[in-house]
Each structure stands twice: as structure tokens, then as C-alpha cells.
Amino acid sequence: MLDYFELPCEEEPRAMMVWLHGLGADGYDLEPVAEMLGVVGIHHVFPHAPVRPVTINNGMAMRAWYDITAPDLRWQEDSDGMSDSARLVQELIDSLGKASGLPVVLAGFSQGAVVSLVTSVLGSRKVRGVVAMSGYVPEFLSPALASLRDTSVLMMHGEQDEVVPVRLGRAGAEKMDASGIDVVWHSYEMPHSICQQEIMDVGLWLENLLALNQAA
């Protein structure tokens, strides 16, 4: 099972939010983002990706959710690696006992955004919401996107992203919208990173999502 750490909330939890970091980082990378959300009642969970060789980085071993072979992220897409990581994330969610009975929101940056989307499609348990920051929809997932129709998706991207081109993120959001999925798109004047306005927008989206969930 994935190694992870948690930030339980002092209040009665309203949701569990699982944060998936980007290539070469670890779970601690997104802890400050979670702390800046300003949303009470969230049980935050931060898994660490397995260590594996990454082709584009000369085979160097690092924490990665899947392999990348070239700057063109659609070239030889590692669908097996993405699916394996999605299964590990689902296994972690299922193992968290009482917390796993809460509505689940997945949030990821870059590779973590991709695996958040894959997990929400392939996972055995429905995910209530997905925050995909600087990510994209992998090609192999496209035929199964209809299963996201009960999931709210927030896609966010930097207009000057030099790692994951903004056109990939935008194309994924447009594809989900055409499939009848509840998707919101935001872009920002920034590179491959996370900005303060983006964090504020995540907090607002999350509050709205939880309000809708409570009213249902």
C-alpha cells in the first residue's frame, strides 16, 4: 500500500481530500496548499508515489505515478502505470476506515492530476469531486469518461505552462464538457505551478461542492 500521512481536522469531518503530488515530489509538496484552502471540516490525506525509473529523466529513479518517455506527453502513454497507481490510490481510500465513509475529493498536480482523473473513472468507489491542477486527460481514458457524470471536476492550468501545455488541459476540459460532465475550467497567468488565486478558487469550488452534497 502507498505510504502516506494525514492532516485530520479538529471539527467533525465533512469530506476526505486525497492529494496527489507531481513528478519527483512527495506528499509533503501539497501540504501547504491544503493548509491555505481555508475550508473547515476536511480530512486531508497525502500519499507518496512509488519510486520508479523515469525514462525522460535518463532512467533516474524518483517518485512518479507513471513513466514519461518524451516531452510529448501523448507519446507511448503509460496507461498501465497510470492504472496501477489509480488502483493504489483506491486501495488507500478503502483502507482508511471511518474516514473512507466520507465523501471523497481527489486533488492532484501534474502527474497527480492525471492519476486523480484515472482513479475517479476506474475506481470501484465513486469519487465526489476531482481537482486537476496542470494536468490532462490521457487518451486511453477518453472512451470511459461518461462514468464521470456523477462527479464534479475542476480543471486548472497555467497559460505559460512549459511542462504540460495548456492546450492539453483545455482539450480535456472541453472533451468532458461534451460528454455531459460537470466540469469547471480556470486558467491563470503562470507557468507549471500553483498560484494563490488558484488555491482560493479551489476553496470556493470545494465549499460549493460540499454544500450541494449536504443538500442532496
Active site residue 192: yes
What backbone phi and psi angles, to 5 degrees, belong to 136? -160, 165
Helix (H, G, I), strand (E, B) or coil at 111: helix
Q: Where are the alpha helices (DSSP H) in 103-195?
A: 111-122, 166-178
Is there a catalytic annotation at residue 201?
Answer: no
Q: Within 10 A of 171 (CB to CB), how many other CB atoms are there?
A: 13
Catalytic residue, candidates 21, 43, 44, 192: 192
Which one of the listed residues 85, 110, 116, 120 is annotated catalytic? 110
Is residue 193 flagged as an active site residue?
Answer: no
Alpha helices, DSSP H only, in the chain? 31-36, 79-95, 111-122, 166-178, 196-215
Nearest-angstrom CA–CA distance, 214 and 209: 9
* Catalytic machinery residues: 110, 161, 192
